[in-house]
Amino acid sequence: MKSTKKAITLILLASMLVSSVLTACGDAQGDTAKDSSGTSSVSPEVTTPEDTQFEPDSLPSGLDFGGKEISLLWWAENKEFVEEQTGEVVDDSLYKRDRNVEDRLNVKLNHIGMSYTWDTRNEYLGAIRNSVMAGDNSYDIVSCQSATMPSLIADGIFLNLMKLDYLDFSKPWWVNGIIEETAIDGKLYLATGDITKQTIGTVCCMFGNQRLFEDFQLENPIELVDAGKWTIDKVKELATGVYEDINGNDAMDAADRHGVVIYNSNGITAFQQAFGIKVTTMNKDGYPELSMGTEHAVDAITKITDYLRNTEEFYLGKDAELNDNYAIFSDGRALITTGFFKQAGEVYKDMADDFWILPYPKYDEEQENYQTRLGEANTLFGITASCENPEMAAAVMEAMASEGYRTVAPAFYEVALKVKYSRNDDSARMFDLIRSSVVFDFGALYGTTLGVGFTAIKNFVAYSSTEWSSYYESNREKAEAGIKDFCDSIAALD
């Protein structure tokens, strides 16, 4: 497998956009998850020139599966497929992707959408497990949340993707960082990339309120990012003096004005990657080992814990008040908030104040690069062990991902995000910077499955009363045992 220094390869599509479209960044309207065709008075026309240079895939020409049907299970709420064209750019790109794959491989795609929530995760995963165990071939390709999907691996539910023809994980439509960090003993069971738009939509980022930055006469955050000075201490400095107890109840809550709003405890986790903390690192034999007991990890986690618990510059929103927490920023009562790319269109599209898209801050200026993560709503894909034609499934996965790279990703990223939902050229540029900085590690991605979820730091930062070094040490042996058990189970699989 060809290695890559970047977890996600940038899609260079500047030639897609005429200059008049680029100047449309002042309007942030529309919604990638809903029919947004009526929300904007001007709908930018975007074309893909025939000579646009995309890397070709390696699928053989003339590959023909005789019109056979292949079933794909999707997380329904993510709206990863459409039944017909709607006139909305992203929807139409999904439709085009599917028709291109069907025509190219002579297959019939049977999309199956199943509702998935955290509360119903066992039912969703149970449907996959039961189908495979029964050998009923209900699903050939399955997908689910990255936080839970790996729990099926040890049960032998998936085929080893590295053994199948047609899949080429060196290509830019696969997220190589995940692949390199989760292939154990030369075996890989789950992958993701441009087969789903979630690899763009769930990129973690920050949003900055331009009006409040101007009202408080603060340094321009884009300039700070460019200068390498966008650090957690600088963010705290900028937020000093912004807090106001608007409702006068002598308590920080969602009705007040805040400096930095962490939308809920999930917003904490991305600081882990932003500060260069890895849950695990691969040893010389290619197996993961815990690595969160370092001096840097202790210092960084201690700092973010202190800032979130003990200062008025940071406000950690209650998990049960998610919409209220979003409203703090959308109502113009937060200087900065945490979130995901897709929220530019799904949550803040009608916001009165202009906003910037910003990376999570570095730990300090000595840190070389900005880093971020994909949120836990990101989706992983596997081929079931009950699939009757694994090679066809592999060809479809490769074709879906490569077509997504050519059609869906350009529409979602370049149009829906960088043009429709980005309010200025600087934010459009920040999209590129942030997306190129996504990093992964085995322990962070598979932590819930391994029983080492404590290393996601969010629960510790939000609720623990101990010091990180003590907390980590008290959980270390259990985590190491969980990693060993998982690796042993992989060794026993084909």
Count of structural domains, the chain? 2
pLDDT single digits (tens) 179-194: 888 899 889 999 999 9
Phi-psi region of 87 (alpha: psi -120 to 50; beta: other; left: phi over 0): left
pLDDT single digits (tens) 283-296: 888 889 998 889 99
Closest alpha carbon to 351 in 280, 415, 427, 293: 427
Reported confidence tier of residue 454, pLDDT bands at 50, 70, 90: low
* Whether residue 166 is found in the same domain as residue 234: no
| Helices 232-239 and 295-310, axial angle in degrees (round to 10) | 10
Stretch 471-487: mean pLDDT, rounded? 89
* Whether residue 177 is found in the same domain as residue 67: yes
pTM: 0.85
H or E element at residue 335: strand 334-340
* Whether residue 318 is found in the same domain as residue 192: no
* Whether residue 243 is found in the same domain as residue 360: yes
Does residue 120 fall inside a structural domain? Answer: yes
* Whether residue 292 is found in the same domain as residue 361: yes
Which residues span the domain enclosing 293? 204-373+438-491
* Whether residue 289 is found in the same domain as residue 327: yes
d(CA 356, CA 425): 10
Take residue 61 and report the two structure tokens written for it.
């020409």
Does residue 69 fall inside a structural domain? Answer: yes
Stretch 451-468: mean pLDDT, rounded? 80
Query: Is it the case that residue 13 has pLDDT exceeding 60?
Result: no
Does residue 300 fall inside a structural domain? Answer: yes
Does residue 7 fall inside a structural domain? Answer: no
Does residue 56 fall inside a structural domain? Answer: yes
> Which of 390, 423, 456 is the endpoint of a domain?
423
CB contact at 8 A, 329 and 207: yes
Query: Is it the case that residue 267 has pLDDT exceeding 70?
Result: yes
* Whether residue 91 is found in the same domain as residue 182: yes
The predicted structure's pLDDT at residue 57: 93
* Whether residue 196 is found in the same domain as residue 57: yes
Stretch 83-99: mean pLDDT, rounded? 95
* Whether residue 356 is found in the same domain as residue 410: no
The predicted structure's pLDDT at residue 343: 94
Does residue 432 fall inside a structural domain? Answer: no
Q: What is the CATH number of the domain that holds 483?
A: 3.40.190.10
Does residue 6 fall inside a structural domain? Answer: no
* Whether residue 358 is found in the same domain as residue 485: yes
Take residue 55 and report the two structure tokens written for it.
């890397």
* Whether residue 469 is found in the same domain as residue 391: no
* Whether residue 386 is found in the same domain as residue 287: no
Does residue 261 fall inside a structural domain? Answer: yes
Query: For the chain, how far is it from start to end, CA to CA, in angstroms?
Result: 19
Closest alpha carbon to 62 in 103, 98, 97: 103
The predicted structure's pLDDT at residue 42: 31
